[in-house]
Amino acid sequence: MSADKVYTLAEVAKNNTNKNCWLVIHNNIYDVTAFLNEHPGGEEVLIEQAGKDATEHFEDVGHSTDARDMMKKFKIGELVESERKVVPEKSEPVWQNANSDSDQSAKSWLIPLVLGVFATLLYTFYFSK
């Protein structure tokens, strides 16, 4: 395997058809020609990005870790250092939501608790005589 081969964006750009479909994702080069008709998201979206940097599109979909494992098979090289850029992964929105949810629920049971104590005190002083 020639996994460490280095390509420029101009070289990648030549492989922009459904017979020869390369993508740049996170500065790695993938030859997804054989994967086109197996891609769960359809071949059109891949062909649309053929020969280009598809990192942002790939991340916008929020691909699973399965998908990220799967793509290793199609890696054929890396982008030349001078043309690399960093795009953060967006794979774990579920965790972020879970964290902020639990933060909120920690506070949201405090309010009824305080109200409950207050109501009990009120009742004790005004109604129980």
Closer residue to ligand HEM (CB): 6 or 45: 45
Q: Are 18 and 35 in contact (CB under 8 A)?
A: no
Question: Nearest-CA neighbor of 33 among 23, 41, 25, 24?
Answer: 23
CB atoms < 10 A from the CB of 74, how many? 18
Binding range to ligand HEM, per CB under 6 A, among 11-19, 36-44, 93-101, 111-119: 36-44
Between CA 55 and CA 85 the distance in angstroms is 10
Per CB under 6 A, the list member of 1, 66, 86, 106 interacting with ligand HEM is 66
Binding of ligand HEM by 57 (CB under 6 A):
yes
Q: At what angle do helices 93-108 and 110-126 cross, to 10 degrees?
A: 10
Per CB under 6 A, the list member of 12, 21, 29, 32 interacting with ligand HEM is 32
User: What does the binding site for ligand HEM look like in residue numbers (CB under 6 A)?
Assistant: 23, 30, 32, 39-41, 45-46, 49, 54, 57-58, 61, 63-64, 66-67, 70-71, 74
